[in-house]
Structure 1
Amino acid sequence: MPPTPDPTPAALPPTLPAPAPGRTLLVLGHGSHLNADSARAVHAHARTLQGAGFDEVLTGFWKEEPSLRQVLRTARYREVTVLPAFISEGYFTEEVIPRELGLRHQGRVPDGGVTETVAGRTVHYLRPYGIHAAMTGVLLDRAREVCPTWTPERTALVVLGHGTRRNPRSKEAIEAAARRAGAAGLFAHAAALYLDEPPHATDWREHTGGLDVIMVPFFASEGWHTLDTMPAELGLPGPVSHLDGRAVSYARPVGTHPAVGSVLTRLVQEAPARPAPVDADHAAAWAALDTAAEGGLDVGELRVTPQPDGTFALHHAADAGTPGLTRVPLDDLAAWTGRDNQGEHRPIRTRRGLPRGWQARVPREHLRAALHAVYPAVTEEAHAWDAGKLLVTPWAETAARQSGRYRPVRRAPPETVQAARERLCAGCLRTPLWAGEPLAATFLSGGPGLPCAEACTLLVSDVAHLLEAPHP
């Protein structure tokens, strides 16, 4: 085991100039274990916000990497603004995200957001963008896309929400959007319907009479629900259907509309603006990566090789010496390596299956970003482990923190957790420190190791599924 963590941040190496102060913006989404499309809108929002006055913009997810538990460690600056890219307030924005980030605040976030100090960083946590009044305009834009010329007196608008019994406020943004759209006089009727609570979306016929219908999913992203489950449950064979003698139009989700970018920009620009120094531990991790990469470096299945022109080449280690590799630009690297060679989604990037047949060439100053794109957070976590500062969370603590549909894992017997470990962790490149497995040196200090400080959401989900499975 490493030495006891030193609470004093590591000093910057004397050879590095003092970096200029700045601000980090974290754009957080739900993500998915099953569908890469779920995270696409969050990445698009992050690209849009690159010019919003922040010195770096990063993403984090509940179901993918970097996880909500990891993401603060990846922030370069000590001043961090957190934007939950969610469509409504409720369970995730009021309970899950604050808890996973280490915020003390729980419950409704006030208009100006919440500011706390977490692990030496000043964190400004904002409200979700979906509650902004300007989202009504985005909703109407989506309706016009799928049905450009509707007749107001013969058309009903249905705003589709997810809904949850865990928090009644999750419906407020959807209901407000339907109310505002109805008040505009553009529809004969406007209703908010839900997947998981009444009034149910499957009862849309009862709520729209004999009117033509435009359905707009008030969802943050394209994904499993908007692409598969909702159209199937609603009986919609395509974007425009003719059912029971009337036209039914099904729009794309509001959260993927380009106009959302201006709403997000307004929200983050209203947040406190106080540039702060680079986090010392983060800078030291970056310097350690720079030093380790000088002689060539293997990180999991990835090989990093210095080039004569001062750049670094990245590719699958098994592709060393292979001609004709596809050149992938840095901006596309995360998406390219987020699927395996069979096209399957890789929500936990350190599971074996890094795709082959590609290469990236990056300058030294972009090496950390490139490695983060392939294996998020491994640089910061490896350096923290080598320095004796990585906090390891045992399974019992992770289980005790779960809520909602994952609450049952709190009572999972050891043999169930072990079965999940054997199924999932055996295929992962990380060493599960949380389960007591030893790790000597990481890839930054001459070894192959990638530390895993806490059970990932994929394992938590698998334990929950094993508990739900019928016993023979």
Structure 2
Amino acid sequence: MRSLVLIGHGSHLNGESAGAVYRYAELIRGRGLYDEVVEGYWKEEPSLRQVLKTTRSTDVTVIPMFISEGYFTETVIPRELGLGHQGPVAPEGVARVLGGKTVRYTLPYGVHPGMSDVILARAREALPDLNPADTALIVLGHGTTRNENSNRVIYQNAERLRASGQFAQVEALFLDEDPKVGTWPQVVTAPRVVVVPFFASEGWHTLETIPEDMGLTGDVTEFPGNPGGPQTVYYAKPVGTHAAVADVVLHLAEEARGASPHGGDEDRGHAQAWAAFLELARRGTRVGEALVFPQAGMFELRHALDEGRPAPDLTTVVTPEGLRDLARFDEGGHHRPVHTFRTLPRGWRAVVSEEDLPRAMHNLYPAVVEEGYAHHTHSLRATPWPTTARRQTGIYARVTRATPEQVEEVARDVCSRCLKTRLWAGEKLGCTFFAGVPGAIPCPEACTYFVAEMREEVSGKRGGAGGHSHDH
């Protein structure tokens, strides 16, 4: 048995941020090479602190879904996963045994040599008849002065594609460092120019900044008066949204240090938690705002406030993914980065098989079954707030300066909206929903939403009730 975990950044504010990782997870799930494919996030749920608890296997490979090495892949993700590693990751990855699981952590997918093929595929989509006689390629990176690793992958891909002889010229240009993208007419002389953005997703930079800096008006732009003569620019889609990235991810996973073709065993604690939950579900139970009950050989889930409503009055969801998409937004269409906020929308029913019930529940309330069962069996360890605060780095390091009064002030706003009981703040939870108390859900550690709000509070930037967690 093998588990594959894809790690994305996510967002407290924007529901679209997690979309690319979900799409790749579904593509890879469809290949059937892993027993499960699980998504985890820095700013959404399941969080990096929770995600390993949600894996079924003792053999886990973790892939950071980032375009280059840097602060998140070298500092944040290893720290939050508890890998005991900081700094550059070796080509074969990092392997650790954590809580009885063998966890392999790889380089980000963007640095794999297979990405050169993805760049080439994007270039051919934009200009199917490209040829070495008259076509130049620009590999366009973000660039940053903060981490020298971030531009290395751009130069490596440019060098590989230059050596392939498929273009008259191949140049690496950047948004935020020299050579800047705006200098392209002085750098590239070929009459036809294909620009491939080496970005993880379609967004502000690919839709606004790059076209503006280059003077592009669409997918194809004519420049009749350039210094070296007329040029036509063909603007490709970003590499990170190409389906072939799924192949790169699978190559990375197979190449990871100590990757065993035989896999591991079923994680016993995880299996016990879900077996206990299945017993509850067969009798009918309530978790948080959701009801789960048996229905004609299947299981039906619905909002507890919709109990008794006729099925035709409710929108029917038939896949775990459909339930995930529904649970990520409240009734006003606002993103729900914390799934246990009391804002689960109403008006739906999900009908799933016994086999799909764990993934459906995981999508509705990530990590709640695993953490709830661990508390029920007295094996859940809480992490006090000072410990969480001391672990923070970068722009979040300042939360260590928060006074107890500030912590409580933010908790009154943020945590009062959540179903969970703050074990990390010393609150007591005598029993859980496993003992039949629907809202009894443990919170062993302050979530990243709370940490972000604490940073705003300490910085003096926090608004009134409701908060306004900023993503950086």
Q: Counterparts of 1:469 and 1:145 in 2: how far apart (Å)?
A: 49
Q: Counterparts of 2:27 and 2:163 in 1: how far apart (Å)?
A: 31
Higher relative contact order by CA 8 Å / sep ≥ 6: 1 or 2?
A: 1
Q: Is the 8 A contact 1:420 1:463 kept in 2?
A: yes
RMSD: 2.9
What residue is the counterpart of 2:13 in the other structure? Answer: 34
Per-residue displacement from partner, 1:105-163 (whole Å, max 9, x unpaired)?
A: 22222232222101111112222222222211211222333344557676654333344
Deviation at 1:353, TM superposition (A): 2.2
The structure-2 alpha-carbon separation of the partners of 1:319 and 1:61, relative to structure 1 and needing over 3 Å to count, comes to same
Per-residue displacement from partner, 1:219-238 (whole Å, max 9, x unpaired)?
A: 22334554566556766564
The structure-2 alpha-carbon separation of the partners of 1:419 and 1:166, relative to structure 1 and needing over 3 Å to count, comes to farther
What residue is the counterpart of 2:34 in the other structure? Answer: 54
Q: Counterparts of 2:462 and 2:329 in 1: how far apart (Å)?
A: 33
Pairwise mapping of residues 320-335 of structure 1 onto structure 2 (< 5 A)?
Answer: 320=307, 321-322=309-310, 323-330=312-319, 331-335=321-325
Deviation at 1:210, TM superposition (A): 9.5
1:24 aligns with 2:15: no
What residue is the counterpart of 1:4 in the other structure? Answer: none
Q: Is the 8 A contact 1:292 1:445 kept in 2?
A: no
- What residue identity is the alignment partner of 1:453? P
Tell which deviates more after alignment, 394-403 or 331-340. 331-340
Q: Counterparts of 1:358 and 1:471 in 2: how far apart (Å)?
A: 35
Deviation at 1:414, TM superposition (A): 3.6
Tell which deviates more after alignment, 453-462 or 242-251. 242-251
The structure-2 alpha-carbon separation of the partners of 1:125 and 1:337, relative to structure 1 and needing over 3 Å to count, comes to same
* Identical counterparts, % of pairs: 49
Q: Is the 8 A contact 1:40 1:221 kept in 2?
A: no
The structure-2 alpha-carbon separation of the partners of 1:240 and 1:54, relative to structure 1 and needing over 3 Å to count, comes to same
Q: Is the 8 A contact 1:41 1:222 kept in 2?
A: no
- What residue identity is the alignment partner of 2:455? A
Per-residue displacement from partner, 1:289-310 (whole Å, max 9, x unpaired)?
A: 1122233222222221222x23
Deviation at 1:261, TM superposition (A): 1.9
Q: Counterparts of 2:208 and 2:382 in 1: how far apart (Å)?
A: 38
Q: Counterparts of 2:422 and 2:215 in 1: how far apart (Å)?
A: 45
TM normalised by structure 1 equals 0.85
Q: Is the 8 A contact 1:222 1:256 kept in 2?
A: yes
Q: Is the 8 A contact 1:52 1:269 kept in 2?
A: no
Pairwise mapping of residues 430-441 of structure 1 onto structure 2 (< 5 A)?
Answer: 430-441=420-431
Q: Is the 8 A contact 2:453 2:462 kept in 1?
A: no
Q: Is the 8 A contact 2:135 2:190 kept in 1?
A: no
Aligned length: 450
Per-residue displacement from partner, 1:57-106 (whole Å, max 9, x unpaired)?
A: 21111121111110000011111111222222222222221111111222
Q: Is the 8 A contact 2:169 2:190 kept in 1?
A: no
Q: Counterparts of 1:241 and 1:278 in 2: how far apart (Å)?
A: 55
- What residue identity is the alignment partner of 2:371? E
1:136 aligns with 2:116: yes
- Gaps of at least 5 residues in structure 2 are 226-230, 464-472
- What residue identity is the alignment partner of 2:374? A
Q: Counterparts of 1:266 and 1:42 in 2: how far apart (Å)?
A: 17
Describe the SS at the equivalent of 1:38.
coil
Q: 1:111 aligns with which of 64, 74, 91?
A: 91
What residue is the counterpart of 2:241 in the other structure? Answer: 256
Describe the SS at the equivalent of 2:356.
helix
Describe the SS at the equivalent of 2:264.
coil
Q: 2:456 aligns with which of 418, 442, 465?
A: 465
- What residue identity is the alignment partner of 2:18? A
1:90 aligns with 2:90: no
Q: Counterparts of 2:224 and 2:398 in 1: how far apart (Å)?
A: 43
TM normalised by structure 2 equals 0.85
Q: Is the 8 A contact 2:168 2:190 kept in 1?
A: no
Per-residue displacement from partner, 1:33-76 (whole Å, max 9, x unpaired)?
A: 23333222212222232335322221111121111110000011
- What residue identity is the alignment partner of 1:345? H
Q: Counterparts of 2:292 and 2:205 in 1: how far apart (Å)?
A: 38
Q: Is the 8 A contact 1:81 1:124 kept in 2?
A: yes
- What residue identity is the alignment partner of 1:365? E
Describe the SS at the equivalent of 1:293.
helix
Q: 1:400 aligns with which of 367, 387, 390?
A: 390
Q: 2:328 aligns with which of 338, 348, 354?
A: 338
Q: Is the 8 A contact 1:131 1:173 kept in 2?
A: yes
Deviation at 1:254, TM superposition (A): 0.8
Q: Counterparts of 1:231 and 1:469 in 2: how far apart (Å)?
A: 36
- What residue identity is the alignment partner of 2:373? H
- Gaps of at least 5 residues in structure 1 are 1-21
What residue is the counterpart of 1:450 in the other structure? Answer: 441
Q: Is the 8 A contact 1:339 1:355 kept in 2?
A: yes
Q: Counterparts of 2:404 and 2:452 in 1: how far apart (Å)?
A: 15
Deviation at 1:364, TM superposition (A): 2.2
The structure-2 alpha-carbon separation of the partners of 1:346 and 1:172, relative to structure 1 and needing over 3 Å to count, comes to same
Q: Counterparts of 1:203 and 1:431 in 2: how far apart (Å)?
A: 56
- What residue identity is the alignment partner of 1:327? T
- What residue identity is the alignment partner of 2:303? H
